[in-house]
Amino acid sequence: MNKVNIYWNKLKSANVSKKAMVAACAITAVGVTTAIAAGGAGTGGSAFNPILTEVEGWLTGAPGKIIATLAFGAAMFNVVKQNFIAAIGAFLGAMLMANANSVIDTFMSAGL
């Protein structure tokens, strides 16, 4: 309850009227209710298919292979410098880029 009083005092010191606060709460409540009521909207995901196809093409094509090769090179450079944490990060980045298509498919097909 003490935190509520602190926030209320801050709002009062910012010259926010009670009418403005009630209006903001009402607008927020209407927005949340509308979002809950439209919970089925956007379940298809077909609008993102062209973008997904383009990104998959980049990751599995020449740009993805170049980035994976550079990340693997950075990993080897960090091994020579005895910086093993950075080497592990660069190596994992290279592996992620090498398997980008299956990683993206896994993320996109995951459900709640």
Total-model pTM: 0.44
51/13 same-domain check: no
Residue 64 shares a structural domain with residue 32: no
Supply the range of the domain harboring residue 52: 46-109
* pLDDT tens digit sequence for 45-90: 677 778 878 887 887 788 878 888 888 888 888 888 888 888 888 8
Q: Quick one: CA dihedral 31, 32, 38, 40, positive or negative? A: positive
Does residue 85 share a domain with residue 102?
A: yes
Q: Is the pLDDT of residue 41 over 70?
A: no
Cα angle 68-73-79, degrees, rounded to a multiple of 5? 130
Percentage of the chain lying above the pLDDT 70 cut? 73
Residues 13 and 53 grouped into a single domain: no
**Do 51 and 105 fall within a single domain?**
yes
Burial class (CB in 10 A: 0-12, 13-18, 19+), 20: exposed
3-state secondary structure of 41: coil
Closest Cα to residue 96, out of 58, 59, 54, 48? 59
